């Protein structure tokens, strides 16, 4: 076929399948935090990418410490936990100072968080410099698995995939199997009723927002293994994240997962057969056209409005 | 004369010239001073020249996305100006600097150029980094008859009376590098990949013509990624399918970091794959991480590890000024040349007037450049060498090849 | 006639406000600022077109478009294409492989002008296209979205994505568009050199005049029944629909008007700055223009203009003195406006200044001053 | 089927949300100048029926004919222009506009984009506004911002806005919710006046109020008609007592 042996084509298909899955987990990690904040709470968090960068810079910072104390092989797990905690705390603070005053004005959250993203970018720049930085990665995160001589499975891809799975399961169990999640869902569905039955909705809001930010932090830390860390890197993620969430039907977690999968496969295949930048344009264009025909997203159910 | 003989010769010559130049200068500063060059005589077009000072402009992005790249250039230009002032300035006048921020926004570059030229009346501007910012500012320089020293290696296809290009144009950076890798690595097949904008596309066009028409090689793939895209999975698989002898890369910015990280993770490290890139300098390594670059090649005219007395001194002073951890990339060095070239031209012309300076500079041979000997061509670009650096894990490169002097050719016939 | 003038000026209060703005733009600034600063101001004024369009669309209509930069850019590109063709005559491009086409096309191996460049050989056609191209795109987007009742947040996000697509396309198709460098080195318009000092003055006044014109049009729309319906739709879209109005048509119309105004701004930008690049098409400029409108006051046409001018002057001043602080200030300002002054400068003015009838008092001085100023201008240009 | 006599003829109307049939094979007919009240327990499908008639919800099957015009395929604004006005459960008025402007927006002239841009405020308009304002007892508040009205006045304003359109069929969803006893009486009078030359369809819970106004009552239960007829007849119906009036 096209002058290649069947073996070669087979190997490429395996690896191409893997890069589709890997892109899927990247998009999913990117979008999960936003799916909670935007999908569940209706807050348009334009600083989402910057919260990811909080995580990324935490990882970079931890790696510097790790190099100093010779813990390069084990620090990354701690870095991810630290990234979660730090982003969670900042998110908590931001909700308290900013977001809670704006719940009735969703478009204004967009503008205010855009302002926030500028401030955060400059903070990164002032504290870590304008240049891109990179985290010292442990040996076990580098290189690739080789199930056969001609197939390479990137370890960092696998790592991101595993992390995406863990975080998704975590979110799922929290939202649908715990009392905390029940409170969140109750508050989202009917704020007045929830507070009437004794749920502290303000607290729930704050924790939900902080949780979304925390997850963004985790994904940011994970992405230091596959891409860059700089003051403005966060802005690269924002459109993709929103596309995934909106395309999935904002309020549905399953929708987010399915849409991340769909977009990842489409982009991965299109970028294989077209040039990369045209593949990206074609993907975005498809999403926009589908959204124009089905504005409620792919996975919203029909209800009396 | 073999290349090593020649290097020897140039080294000796440069030491000699350096010494004599230094002597000459000390004489100038010692006895001459500004009094020998009355202001009315050296500045007839209303530039900001007084009996004691002359004002120049620095115009780079201190904020915004391009600040990452342009910071080094600002530092180098300021260092050069400080050194010149220490030596007594230009025509006995201390250089004063007006620094403007282009804020990574192209119209701002045009507007700040206008301010520097029309309000501040600066005698020269050292600045711009991206082609887009230069293209935006260029009409202003041409209209107001200003003087710009532009440091970045770029796609060529431009030549202006009002601009001197201290970095390499595309053919200088590309042709010799491809020749070397074809010979050294017996490369026959090439895969070209770049960010999707004008510099990579022009560079790849030249590379493709050279490979196909002069080297007898074959281009098996040509790929462009959107600026800022960080997902390379599919691209890497395409490369694996084509199995090129050499990947020839010009990916920039955040994409560049993702490209190297993901390439390594996909098993395409330097043990298995030869890559020659024209978009990685010491500045980029910080973000990419030395471990991801180790063993790959860059084609540049300058690397920080270059061994010559000029460079040793330059690196030492740069680190003294900006800290031990400061790194110096190709563009930073090119930016450092700007003020020195301007000083030389002014002294040759005996005047700050742009029209005279512009005529005086071509033909000038500079022996004190950290990169070694350079000469200003009539087309306002520099004759310079190309080096191939092999990256080490610590983020520095070993220079494994050095070409002869290459003539700049911004409008290459047969490559358009 | 009385009714028409009321509609255009928005009553006495509106007329005074507009008169003060016109006085500033036409008399005070040209007298006080040197040509360099005036050129900057002219550039900011082109952004004000977008801010005014956002007052219509977002402040009054409740439709937040994060893609206004796209229309600004399209208008600008239309104008730039005309100017570029004029600058690429066969004589001045004789070193090219194919003389007579723009330089970037030649570098990209194009040997003839692409078909969509052909209309831009004619100035009248170009002027029409400056208006039509942005409007048409807005119509297509608006028709697709509003007929399906996509609104609010979704509209904002989708317009943002479209702006991103357009900017990737422009950057990627550099043989046709000039790529990331944009269309540069524009010199003359029908032989008239747009870079000379006198041309700068003329363009500035044309620009300011067009802005006032757009504001009058916007004022007319807002004071007509259409304007009342816009407000009504913003607050209770459902009710308007069940009062017998086809809401989507109204939204499409106002989106098209806003796009057209932004396009005019873009074309004037190209003329004054001398180039156009994709950096005006993407997400960041689009959101920044929303910021301008928000700072000035999303409900106030005049406020939005002042907001645009102030934010941009602030940016210029700050980036000259404290570049590091600029983003903090801009971000902080934006948060503060959204949180504490949702109606922006105009809101603050309404709250405090109107108490003291500032407008009434100033209008007297304005009348006096304008007579003097007119005299001065006369003398200056004699 | 000839149903020319009826203003509104609903036949075999069904709508389901994800399998749940909110309205199930419903048929209902309304005469000229009739004032019909629909009652039923929560979730019986009352509001959904109004939504279906005015086009807010699209039916799964069945037909709705208004003066023999099929409504199910029309857009909302076309249904309104055909002559149907609808008041929502919670008062739906433009809080940021004055009472006068609220009424003006509802004036059925200048309904196209161009028409609204060239619309002139005529003598006829102000006369109509004043007449309607008097009808709904808001003459004194014409220049007041609508947000400042009392809850009852807001309900009246919305009715007034509908009257501006002069509809042939007026549909009111719980028009007296949140009103004082006096206001209820005034509203009952208002409704009795305005059904002189049009049909009115009302959803209401308040039985006292229903008694005052209803010509005929329809009882809905689980998307189906449980009973229909005069108030007395319905009140004595055993099934009705069981599901609704009983508790």
User: What integer is the mean pLDDT of D124-147?
Assistant: 90
B262 CA: distance to closest CA in chain A (Å): 6
List pLDDT tens digits, range C112-142.
899 999 999 999 999 999 999 999 999 999 9
List pLDDT tens digits, range D139-175.
999 999 989 998 888 989 999 999 999 899 999 998 8
User: What integer is the mean pLDDT of C338-365?
Assistant: 73
Both tokens assigned to B245: 């002898």
User: What integer is the mean pLDDT of C72-96?
Assistant: 91
Quote the CA–CA distance of B393 and B291 in Å, as a whole number. 5
**Are A107 and C149 inside 8 Å of each other by CB?**
no
Q: What local confidence, expressed as pLDDT, does residue C359 receive?
A: 56
Q: Of C259, C250, C52, give the one whose Cα is nearest residue C138.
A: C259
Domain membership of residue C47 as a residue range = 2-380
Predicted confidence band of residue A67 (pLDDT cuts 50, 70, 90)? confident
Residues recorded for chain A = 305
Which of chain A's residues have a Cβ under 8 Å away from the Cβ of D18? 301-303
Burial of B20 (0-12, 13-18, 19+ CB in 10 A): exposed
Quote the CA–CA distance of C272 and D31 in Å, as a whole number. 69
User: What integer is the mean pLDDT of D185-204?
Assistant: 88
Q: What local confidence, expressed as pLDDT, does residue A231 receive?
A: 86
Q: Which helix (H) or strand (E) holds C125?
A: helix C123-146
Note whether A192 contacts D: Cβ–Cβ < 8 A. no
User: The dihedral of CA B231, B237, B240, B244: what is its sign?
Assistant: negative
Tell me, yes or no, whether chains A and B touch by having 3 or more C-beta pairs under 8 A.
yes
Predicted confidence band of residue B293 (pLDDT cuts 50, 70, 90)? very high
Predicted confidence band of residue B27 (pLDDT cuts 50, 70, 90)? very low
User: What integer is the mean pLDDT of B308-323?
Assistant: 95
Which of chain A's residues have a Cβ under 8 Å away from the Cβ of D51? 304
Which of chain C's residues have a Cβ under 8 Å away from the Cβ of D111? 244-246
Whether pLDDT at B11 is above 60? no
Instruction: State ipTM.
Output: 0.84
User: What integer is the mean pLDDT of C145-168?
Assistant: 87
**Are A280 and B262 inside 8 Å of each other by CB?**
no
In whole numbers, what is the pLDDT of chain B averaged over residues?
88
Whether pLDDT at C174 is above 60? yes
Most confident of A209-213, B23-27, B290-294, C339-343: A209-213
Which of chain B's residues have a Cβ under 8 Å away from the Cβ of C197? none
Contact C160, C66 (CB under 8 A): yes
Three-state SS at B97: strand
**Are C153 and A115 inside 8 Å of each other by CB?**
no
Q: Is residue A50 part of a domain?
A: yes
Between A and B, how many CB-CB pairs are < 8 A? 143
Quote the CA–CA distance of C266 and B234 in Å, as a whole number. 38
User: The dihedral of CA A207, A210, A215, A221: what is its sign?
Assistant: negative
Domain residue spans of chain B: 3-168+306-384, 170-300+389-402
Which of chain C's residues have a Cβ under 8 Å away from the Cβ of B63? 319, 323-324, 326-327
Q: Which residues pair with B127 in a beta bridge?
A: B59
| Pairing verdict, β B246-250 and B189-195 | parallel
Least confident of B350-359, C229-238, D42-51, D155-164: D42-51
User: What integer is the mean pLDDT of A262-271?
Assistant: 90
Q: What local confidence, expressed as pLDDT, does residue C355 receive?
A: 61
Q: Is residue A241 part of a domain?
A: no
Q: Which of C242, C257, C342 is the best residue to mutate to test the D interface, defined by the most D CB atoms within 10 Å of its own CB?
A: C242
Whether pLDDT at A247 is above 70? yes
Where is pLDDT greater, at B181 or A185? B181
Predicted confidence band of residue B26 (pLDDT cuts 50, 70, 90)? very low
Q: Is residue A5 part of a domain?
A: no
| Pairing verdict, β D69-70 and B365-369 | unpaired
Note whether C279 contacts B: Cβ–Cβ < 8 A. yes
Which of chain D's residues have a Cβ under 8 Å away from the Cβ of A303? 17-18
Quote the CA–CA distance of D223 and A177 in Å, as a whole number. 34
Note whether A304 contacts D: Cβ–Cβ < 8 A. yes
Query: What residue in A sits closest to B243 (Cα-Cα)?
Result: A8
List pLDDT tens digits, range C19-38.
889 999 999 999 888 888 89
B138 CA: distance to closest CA in chain C (Å): 8
Q: Is residue A280 part of a domain?
A: no
Whether pLDDT at A2 is above 60? no
Which of chain B's residues have a Cβ under 8 Å away from the Cβ of C279? 105-106, 132
**Are D76 and C241 inside 8 Å of each other by CB?**
yes
**Are A304 and D18 inside 8 Å of each other by CB?**
no
Query: What residue in C sits closest to D51 (Cα-Cα)?
Result: C242
Predicted confidence band of residue A144 (pLDDT cuts 50, 70, 90)? confident
What is the spatial order of strands in the sheet that B246-250 belongs to? B218-225, B189-195, B246-250, B274-277, B297-300, B387-391, B397-402
Whether pLDDT at B96 is above 80? yes
List pLDDT tens digits, range B396-413.
999 999 999 999 999 888
Chains that touch D (3 or more CB pairs under 8 A): A, C
B108 CA: distance to closest CA in chain A (Å): 19
Query: What residue in A sits closest to C144 (Cα-Cα)?
Result: A292
Q: Which of A26, A236, A276 sits opposite B254 (nearest CB)?
A: A236
Which of chain D's residues have a Cβ under 8 Å away from the Cβ of C228? 97, 101, 104-105
Query: What residue in A sits closest to C62 (Cα-Cα)?
Result: A107
**Are B115 and C186 inside 8 Å of each other by CB?**
no
In whole numbers, what is the pLDDT of chain A averaged over residues?
86
Contact A245, A45 (CB under 8 A): no
Query: What residue in C sits closest to A123 (Cα-Cα)?
Result: C328
Contact B247, B191 (CB under 8 A): yes
Total domains present in chain A: 1
The DSSP code for B361 is S
Whether pLDDT at B23 is above 60? no
Which of chain B's residues have a Cβ under 8 Å away from the Cβ of A234? none
Residues recorded for chain D = 247
List pLDDT tens digits, range B51-73.
999 999 999 988 777 777 888 99
Note whether D48 contacts A: Cβ–Cβ < 8 A. yes
List pLDDT tens digits, range C28-77.
999 888 888 898 899 999 999 999 999 999 999 999 999 999 999 999 99
Three-state SS at C346: helix
Quote the CA–CA distance of B281 and B283 in Å, as a whole number. 5
Tell me what percent of the residues of chain B surpass a pLDDT of 70: 92
Note whether A68 contacts D: Cβ–Cβ < 8 A. no
Residues 6 or more apart from B112 whose CB is under 8 A from it? B59, B100, B101, B102
Whether pLDDT at D23 is above 90? no
| CA atoms within a 13 Å half-sphere pointing along the CA-CB vector of B37 | 27
Whether pLDDT at B118 is above 50? yes
Predicted confidence band of residue A3 (pLDDT cuts 50, 70, 90)? low
Q: What local confidence, expressed as pLDDT, does residue B151 receive?
A: 96
φ, ψ of residue B276 in degrees (nearest 5): -120, 120
**Are D51 and A301 inside 8 Å of each other by CB?**
no
Quote the CA–CA distance of C107 and C96 in Å, as a whole number. 8
Where is pLDDT greater, at B59 or C103? B59
Least confident of A125-129, B24-28, B113-117, D132-136: B24-28
List pLDDT tens digits, range A233-246.
888 888 888 889 88
Tell me, yes or no, whether chains D and B touch by having 3 or more C-beta pairs under 8 A.
no
The DSSP code for B34 is G
Most confident of B196-200, B293-297, C327-331: B293-297
Domain membership of residue A56 as a residue range = 17-234
Whether pLDDT at B166 is above 80? yes
Q: What local confidence, expressed as pLDDT, does residue D4 receive?
A: 60
B126 CA: distance to closest CA in chain C (Å): 17
Note whether D233 contacts C: Cβ–Cβ < 8 A. no
Q: What local confidence, expressed as pLDDT, does residue D2 receive?
A: 47
**Are C331 and A111 inside 8 Å of each other by CB?**
no
Where is pLDDT greater, at B228 or D54? D54
Q: What local confidence, expressed as pLDDT, does residue B16 receive?
A: 47
Between C and D, how many CB-CB pairs are < 8 A? 77
- Give the ranges where chain D is alpha helix by DSSP (H): 46-54, 76-82, 99-105, 113-118, 123-135, 151-164, 181-194, 207-213, 231-235, 238-240
Q: What local confidence, expressed as pLDDT, does residue B25 receive?
A: 45
Note whether D95 contacts A: Cβ–Cβ < 8 A. no
Q: What local confidence, expressed as pLDDT, does residue C16 receive?
A: 83
**Are C275 and B224 inside 8 Å of each other by CB?**
no
Q: What local confidence, expressed as pLDDT, does residue A57 receive?
A: 95
Least confident of A265-269, B240-244, C210-214, D17-21: D17-21
**Are D80 and C228 inside 8 Å of each other by CB?**
no
**Are B234 and A233 inside 8 Å of each other by CB?**
no
Ramachandran area for residue B111 (φ above 0: left; ψ -120 to 50: alpha; else beta): alpha
The structure tokens 């532009």 sit at B150
Both tokens assigned to C275: 């180039």
User: What integer is the mean pLDDT of A203-218?
Assistant: 93
Which of chain A's residues have a Cβ under 8 Å away from the Cβ of B237? 12, 15-16, 19, 272
Q: What local confidence, expressed as pLDDT, does residue B4 receive?
A: 47
Predicted confidence band of residue A199 (pLDDT cuts 50, 70, 90)? confident
Largest interatomic CA distance in chain A: 70
pTM of the model: 0.87
Total domains present in chain C: 1
Note whether A117 contacts B: Cβ–Cβ < 8 A. no
Whether pLDDT at B368 is above 70? yes
CA distances from B26 to B33, B87, D211 (A): 11, 8, 113
List pLDDT tens digits, range A279-291.
888 998 898 888 8
Predicted confidence band of residue B340 (pLDDT cuts 50, 70, 90)? very high
Q: Which of A126, A132, A231, A265 is the best residue to mutate to test the B interface, defined by the most B CB atoms within 10 Å of its own CB?
A: A132
Least confident of B172-176, C205-209, D73-77: D73-77
User: What integer is the mean pLDDT of D73-86?
Assistant: 91
Note whether C245 contacts D: Cβ–Cβ < 8 A. yes
Predicted confidence band of residue B3 (pLDDT cuts 50, 70, 90)? very low
In whole numbers, what is the pLDDT of chain C averaged over residues?
87
User: What integer is the mean pLDDT of B127-146?
Assistant: 91
Q: Which of B101, B133, B415 is the best residue to mutate to test the C interface, defined by the most C CB atoms within 10 Å of its own CB?
A: B101
Q: What local confidence, expressed as pLDDT, does residue B95 receive?
A: 96
Domains for chain D: give ranges and CATH numbers: 8-245 (3.40.50.300)
The superfamily (CATH) of domain B3-168+306-384 is Response regulator (3.40.50.2300)
The superfamily (CATH) of domain B170-300+389-402 is Response regulator (3.40.50.2300)
Quote the CA–CA distance of D15 and B66 in Å, as a whole number. 58
Where is pLDDT greater, at C323 or A26? A26
User: What integer is the mean pLDDT of C176-196?
Assistant: 88
Which of chain A's residues have a Cβ under 8 Å away from the Cβ of C150? 291-292, 295
Chains that touch A (3 or more CB pairs under 8 A): B, C, D
Which of chain D's residues have a Cβ under 8 Å away from the Cβ of C244? 77, 80-81, 108, 111, 165
Residue C5 CB neighbours (<10 A) = 10
Note whether A67 contacts B: Cβ–Cβ < 8 A. no
Whether pLDDT at B296 is above 60? yes
CA distances from C126 to B31, C81, C114, C280 (A): 64, 9, 16, 20
C236 CA: distance to closest CA in chain D (Å): 6
Query: What residue in A sits closest to D48 (Cα-Cα)?
Result: A304
Residues 6 or more apart from B306 whose CB is under 8 A from it? B370, B371, B372, B387, B399
């Amino acid at each position: 076929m096209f002058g290649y042996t069947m073996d070669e084509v087979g190997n490429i298909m395996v690896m191409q399948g893997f890069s589709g899955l890997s892109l899927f987990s990247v998009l999913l990690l990117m979008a999960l935090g936003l799916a909670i904040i935007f999908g569940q709470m209706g807050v348009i968090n334009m600083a989402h990418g910057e919260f990811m960068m909080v995580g990324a810079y935490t990882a970079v910072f931890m790696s510097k410490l790790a190099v100093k104390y010779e813990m390069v092989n084990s620090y990354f797990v701690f870095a991810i936990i630290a990234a979660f905690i730090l982003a969670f705390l900042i998110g908590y603070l931001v909700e308290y100072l900013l977001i809670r005053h704006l719940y009735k004005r969703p478009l204004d959250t967009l503008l205010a968080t855009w302002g926030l993203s500028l401030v955060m970018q400059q903070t990164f720049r002032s504290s870590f410099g304008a240049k891109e930085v990179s985290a010292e990665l442990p040996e076990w995160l580098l290189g690739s698995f080789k199930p056969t001589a001609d197939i390479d499975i990137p370890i960092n891809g696998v790592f991101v995939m595993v992390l995406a799975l863990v975080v998704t399961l975590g979110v799922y169990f929290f939202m649908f199997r715990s009392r905390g999640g029940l409170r969140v869902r109750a508050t989202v569905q009917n704020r007045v009723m929830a507070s009437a039955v004794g749920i502290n909705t303000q607290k729930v809001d704050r924790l939900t927002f902080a949780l979304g930010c925390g997850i963004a932090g985790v994904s940011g830390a994970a992405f230091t293994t596959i891409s860059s860390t700089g003051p403005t890197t966060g802005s690269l993620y924002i459109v993709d994240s929103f596309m995934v969430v909106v395309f999935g039907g904002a309020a549905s977690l399953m929708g987010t997962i399915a849409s991340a999968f769909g977009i990842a496969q489409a982009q991965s295949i299109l970028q294989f057969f077209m040039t990369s930048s045209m593949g990206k344009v074609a993907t975005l264009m498809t999403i926009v056209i589908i959204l124009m025909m089905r504005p409620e997203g792919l996975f919203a159910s029909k209800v009396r409005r | 004369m073999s290349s090593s003989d020649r290097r020897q010769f140039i080294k000796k010559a440069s030491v000699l010239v350096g010494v004599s130049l230094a002597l000459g200068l000390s004489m100038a500063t010692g006895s001459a001073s500004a009094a020998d060059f009355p202001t009315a005589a050296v500045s007839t077009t209303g530039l900001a020249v007084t009996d004691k000072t002359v004002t120049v402009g620095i115009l780079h992005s201190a904020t915004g996305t391009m600040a990452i790249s342009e910071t080094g250039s600002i530092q180098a230009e300021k260092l050069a100006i400080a050194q010149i002032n220490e030596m007594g300035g230009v025509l006995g006048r201390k250089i004063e600097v007006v620094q403007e921020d282009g804020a990574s926004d192209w119209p701002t570059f045009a507007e700040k150029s206008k301010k520097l030229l029309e309000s501040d009346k600066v005698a020269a501007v050292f600045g711009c980094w991206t082609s887009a910012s230069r293209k935006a500012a260029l009409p202003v320089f041409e209209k107001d008859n200003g003087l710009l020293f532009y440091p970045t290696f770029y796609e060529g296809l431009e030549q202006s009376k009002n601009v001197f290009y201290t970095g390499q144009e595309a053919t200088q950076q590309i042709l010799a590098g491809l020749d070397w890798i074809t010979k050294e690595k017996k490369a026959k097949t090439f895969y070209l990949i770049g960010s999707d904008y004008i510099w990579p596309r022009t560079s790849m066009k030249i590379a493709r013509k050279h490979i196909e028409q002069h080297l007898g090689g074959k281009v098996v793939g040509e790929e462009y990624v959107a600026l800022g895209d960080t997902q390379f999975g599919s691209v890497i698989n395409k490369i694996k399918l084509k199995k090129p002898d050499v990947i020839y890369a010009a990916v920039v910015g955040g994409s560049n970091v993702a490209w190297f990280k993901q390439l390594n993770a996909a098993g395409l490290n330097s043990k298995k794959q030869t890559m020659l890139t024209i978009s990685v300098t010491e500045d980029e390594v910080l973000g990419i991480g030395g471990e991801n670059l180790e063993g790959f090649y860059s084609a540049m005219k300058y690397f920080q590890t270059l061994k010559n007395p000029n460079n040793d001194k330059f690196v030492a002073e740069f680190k003294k000024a900006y800290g031990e951890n400061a790194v110096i990339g190709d563009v930073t060095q090119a930016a450092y040349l700007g003020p020195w070239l301007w000083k030389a031209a002014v002294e040759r012309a005996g005047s700050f007037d742009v029209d005279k300076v512009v005529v005086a500079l071509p033909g000038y041979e500079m022996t004190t450049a950290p990169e070694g000997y350079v000469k200003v061509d009539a087309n306002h670009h520099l004759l310079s060498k190309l080096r191939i650096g092999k990256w080490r894990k610590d983020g520095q490169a070993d220079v494994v090849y050095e070409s002869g002097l290459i003539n700049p050719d911004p409008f290459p016939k047969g490559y358009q | 006639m009385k009714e028409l003038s009321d509609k255009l000026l928005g009553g006495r209060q509106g007329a005074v406000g507009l008169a003060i703005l016109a006085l500033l733009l036409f008399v005070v600034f040209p007298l006080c600022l040197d040509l360099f600063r005036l050129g900057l101001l002219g550039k900011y004024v082109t952004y004000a077109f977008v801010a005014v369009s956002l007052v219509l669309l977002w402040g009054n209509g409740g439709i937040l478009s994060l893609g206004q930069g796209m229309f600004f850019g399209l208008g600008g590109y239309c104008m730039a294409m005309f100017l570029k063709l004029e600058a690429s005559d066969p004589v001045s491009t004789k070193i090219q492989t194919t003389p007579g086409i723009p330089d970037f096309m030649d570098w990209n191996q194009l040997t003839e002008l692409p078909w969509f460049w052909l209309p831009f050989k004619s100035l009248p056609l170009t002027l029409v296209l400056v208006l039509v191209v942005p409007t048409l795109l807005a119509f297509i987007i608006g028709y697709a979205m509003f007929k399906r009742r996509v609104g609010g947040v979704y509209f904002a996000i989708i317009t943002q994505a479209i702006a991103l697509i357009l900017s990737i396309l422009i950057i990627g198709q550099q043989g046709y568009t000039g790529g990331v460098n944009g269309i540069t080195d524009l010199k003359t318009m029908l032989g008239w050199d747009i870079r000379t000092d006198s041309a700068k003055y003329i363009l500035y006044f044309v620009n300011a005049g067009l802005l006032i014109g757009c504001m009058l049009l916007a004022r007319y729309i807002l004071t007509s029944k259409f304007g009342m319906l816009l407000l009504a739709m913003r607050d209770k879209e459902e009710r308007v629909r069940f009062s017998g109005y086809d809401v989507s048509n109204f939204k499409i119309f106002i989106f098209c008007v806003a796009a057209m105004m932004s396009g005019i701004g873009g074309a004037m930008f190209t003329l004054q700055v001398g180039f156009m690049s994709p950096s005006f098409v993407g997400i960041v400029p689009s959101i920044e223009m929303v910021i301008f409108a928000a700072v000035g006051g999303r409900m106030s046409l005049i406020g939005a203009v002042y907001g645009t001018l102030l934010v941009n002057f602030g940016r210029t001043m700050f980036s000259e003195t404290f570049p590091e602080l600029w983003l903090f200030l801009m971000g902080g300002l934006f948060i503060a406006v959204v949180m504490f002054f949702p109606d922006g400068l105009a809101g603050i003015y309404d709250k405090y200044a109107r108490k003291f009838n500032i407008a009434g008092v100033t209008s007297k001085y304005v009348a006096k001053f304008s007579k003097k100023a007119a005299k001065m201008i006369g003398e200056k240009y004699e | 089927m000839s149903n020319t006599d009826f203003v509104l003829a609903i036949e075999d109307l069904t709508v389901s949300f994800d399998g749940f049939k909110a309205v199930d094979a419903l048929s209902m007919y309304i005469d000229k100048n009739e004032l019909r009240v629909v009652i039923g327990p929560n979730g019986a499908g009352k509001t959904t029926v109004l939504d279906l008639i005015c086009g807010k919800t699209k039916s799964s099957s069945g037909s709705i004919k208004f003066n023999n015009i099929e409504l199910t395929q029309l857009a909302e604004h076309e249904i309104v222009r055909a002559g149907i006005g609808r008041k929502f459960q919670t008062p739906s008025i433009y809080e940021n506009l004055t009472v006068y402007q609220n009424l003006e927006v509802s004036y059925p002239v200048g309904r196209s984009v161009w028409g609204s841009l060239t619309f002139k405020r005529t003598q006829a308009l102000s006369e109509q506004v004043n007449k309607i304002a008097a009808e709904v007892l808001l003459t004194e508040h014409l220049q007041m911002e609508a947000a400042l009205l009392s809850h009852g006045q807001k309900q009246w304003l919305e009715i007034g806005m509908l009257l501006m359109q002069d509809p042939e069929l007026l549909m009111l969803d719980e028009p007296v919710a949140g009103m004082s006893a006096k206001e209820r009486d005034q509203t009952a009078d208002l409704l009795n006046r305005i059904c002189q030359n049009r049909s009115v369809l009302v959803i209401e819970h308040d039985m006292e109020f229903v008694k005052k106004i209803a010509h005929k009552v329809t009882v809905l239960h689980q998307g189906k008609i449980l009973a229909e007829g005069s108030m007395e007849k319905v009140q004595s119906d055993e099934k009705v007592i069981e599901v609704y009036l009983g508790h």
